[in-house]
């Protein structure tokens, strides 16, 4: 196997010309720090250049980061600006658009500078209409995870939807007391082991319901047809990273939840998406979009497709099919486990958080709303916002806040990258945390430890204007991918 892309890439003077680093020693410092990050695989070249682009425009933001990898560069920029040896940039992206728009931010104190940089770029696109950052936001590719972007109604950005199209949550509530998770622990654990499959190449031969594959959309395009067999084999499986299936205790504190009286119940919660099908669709149409729309380096992953074009229509069909497929994946898992339990759920709640919807803003403007790692929170809409493997998740009802474009966070949000987690976290401390919460873990590794996530209670406090909490879910028996199945950051 050859070297990885990160090992082969280097940042050179030419990459930094647009930053106006007019002193040779400053160039050397930027290149030294950047290539050090590449060498140690902390992040990729495009991600580093995105940070540098924002850093020279807003160096103070990088001084406020607790674990700032670029803090010394920010200090150098501020020093040079004070001496008049480096220009102060406007905090806009004129290369993309001269019409910079403001966007609301929820939980600003919880959000890293890189996410602001990406959202600034996204909101400056000529097709952008409005945007917002959720309190779990952190840097991703293209649109930040936790970013919401409304574009003109006839446009769609594949990378603003995300690679795992229609990644979603699903919760089944059973009419069994919460203490069942302790009394029947071995039985429930065995159900997870027997009826869930994780991993990049994970497949299953036993299906509960394959009627989804009768849909005519599976024959609509050459790409979809080529992926059908793979999708069929992966129906009812989960991916790697933060995907999970877990038993837990659901507390409905007062009143009722969609006809389920207040009380403490046994519940099953899952998080996964459209598997290899969605990933292949995302990569194919993102590549097409980038060939059709030329954007600056920092914005290239935000290339869009025109819905009136052949490619745009193909992506729209494939994205919506991926949404149906992701839902069917969850239903397979939940139905198989319910059958093993011998009991149908009294209520099932689910929602996408990597998708695009045709919607209207308050003033009647028709838009395409991209929610990448953000939960739909229109008025009265139910959703699920998980924490980590040791902290609660929440069943919520949307308040229809127009400022957030009817959205909320999709979880707690990461505090540290996977690489940093492996380098800094101690396994015995993670195990002690799980024991203290009486949590049984199957699979996973340090990169998904509770410590890599923001405090879910702080995140929820930052969005009280966006959602109402109806119930709280505490994980107890958690299954994730085998530790060797490590996704790239």
> What sign for the dihedral angle of Cα 137, 480, 485, 376?
negative
CA distance 238 to 288: 27
Among the listed residues 271, 330, 334, 410, the single catalytic one is 410
Q: How far from each other are the two terminal CA atoms of the chain, in whole angstroms?
A: 20
Encode pLDDT of 378-428 as tens digits: 999 999 999 999 999 999 999 999 999 999 999 999 988 888 888 889 999
CA distance 153 to 273: 25
| Tokens at 207, concatenated | 């299906």
pLDDT under 50 in the chain at which residues? 1-8, 67, 90-100, 488-489
Residue 127: per-residue pLDDT: 95
Q: pTM, whole model, 2 decimals? A: 0.81
Residue 84: per-residue pLDDT: 67
Per-residue DSSP letter, 221: S
Beta strands, E only, 273-364: 305-306, 347-352, 354-360
Question: Does the annotation mark 370 as catalytic?
Answer: no
Beta strands, E only, 72-159: 128-138, 145-152, 155-156
Q: State the Cα angle at 296 between 295 and 300, rounded to 5°.
A: 60
Residue 225: per-residue pLDDT: 98
Residue 94: per-residue pLDDT: 34
Encode pLDDT of 38-93 as tens digits: 877 777 777 787 778 777 777 877 776 654 678 888 888 888 777 766 666 544 33
Contact 241, 482 (CB under 8 A): no
CA distance 422 to 414: 14
Residue 271: per-residue pLDDT: 97
CA distance 207 to 368: 34
Residue 70: per-residue pLDDT: 82
Burial of 179 (0-12, 13-18, 19+ CB in 10 A): exposed
Half-sphere exposure of 419 (CA within 13 A, CB side): 10
CA dihedral 264, 268, 273, 274 (to 10 degrees): -140
Contact 322, 284 (CB under 8 A): no
* All structural domains of the chain with their residue ranges: 14-82, 168-479
CA distance 312 to 307: 4
Residue 182: per-residue pLDDT: 97
The second-level CATH assignment, the architecture, of 168-479 is Alpha-Beta Complex (3.90)
The closest of 410, 405, 381 to 394, measured between CA atoms, is 410
The closest of 242, 279, 241, 271 to 165, measured between CA atoms, is 279
CA distance 252 to 171: 14
Residue 114: per-residue pLDDT: 85
């Amino acid at each position: 196997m050859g070297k990885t892309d990160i090992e082969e890439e280097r940042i050179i003077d030419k990459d930094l010309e647009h930053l106006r680093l007019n002193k040779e020693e400053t160039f050397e410092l930027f290149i030294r720090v950047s290539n050090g990050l590449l060498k140690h695989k902390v992040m990729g070249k495009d991600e580093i250049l995105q940070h540098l682009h924002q850093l020279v425009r807003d160096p103070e933001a990088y001084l406020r980061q607790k674990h700032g990898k670029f803090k010394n560069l920010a200090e150098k920029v501020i020093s040079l600006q004070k001496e008049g040896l480096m220009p102060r940039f406007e905090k806009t992206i004129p290369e993309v658009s001269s019409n910079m728009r403001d966007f609301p931010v929820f939980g600003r104190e919880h959000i890293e500078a890189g996410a602001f940089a990406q959202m600034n770029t996204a909101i400056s696109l000529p097709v952008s209409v409005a945007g917002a950052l959720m309190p779990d936001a952190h840097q991703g590719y293209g649109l930040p995870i936790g970013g919401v972007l409304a574009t003109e109604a006839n446009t769609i950005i594949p990378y603003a939807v995300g690679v795992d199209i229609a990644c979603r949550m699903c919760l089944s509530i059973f009419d069994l007391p919460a203490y069942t998770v302790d009394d029947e622990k071995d039985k429930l654990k065995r159900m997870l082991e027997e009826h869930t499959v994780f991993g990049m190449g994970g497949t299953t031969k036993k299906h509960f319901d394959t009627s989804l594959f009768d849909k005519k959309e599976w024959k609509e395009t050459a790409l979809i047809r080529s992926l059908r067999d793979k999708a069929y084999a992966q129906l009812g499986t989960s991916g790697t990273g933060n995907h999970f299936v877990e038993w837990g205790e659901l507390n409905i504190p007062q009143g009722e939840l969609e006809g389920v009286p207040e009380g403490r119940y046994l519940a099953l919660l899952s998080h996964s998406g459209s598997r290899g099908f969605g990933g292949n669709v995302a990569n194919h149409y993102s590549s097409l979009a980038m060939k059709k729309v030329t954007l600056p380096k920092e914005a290239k992953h935000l290339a869009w497709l025109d819905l009136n074009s052949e490619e745009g229509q193909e992506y729209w069909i494939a994205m919506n099919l991926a949404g149906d497929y992701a839902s069917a994946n969850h239903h397979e898992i939940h139905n198989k486990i319910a059958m093993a339990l011998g009991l149908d759920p009294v209520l099932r709640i689910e929602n996408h958080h990597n998708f695009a919807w045709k919607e209207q803003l308050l003033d009647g403007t028709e838009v395409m709303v991209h929610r990448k790692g953000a939960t739909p929170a229109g008025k009265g809409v139910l959703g699920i916002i998980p924490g980590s493997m040791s902290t609660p998740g929440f069943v919520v009802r949307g308040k229809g806040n127009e400022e957030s474009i009817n959205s909320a966070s999709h979880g707690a949000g990461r505090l540290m990258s996977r690489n940093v987690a492996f380098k800094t976290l101690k396994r015995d401390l993670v195990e002690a945390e799980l024991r203290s919460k009486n949590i049984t873990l199957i699979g996973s590794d340090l990169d998904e430890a509770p410590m890599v996530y923001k405090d879910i209670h702080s995140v929820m406090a930052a969005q009280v204007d966006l959602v109402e909490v109806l119930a709280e879910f505490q994980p107890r028996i958690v299954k994730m991918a085998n530790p060797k199945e490590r996704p790239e950051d």
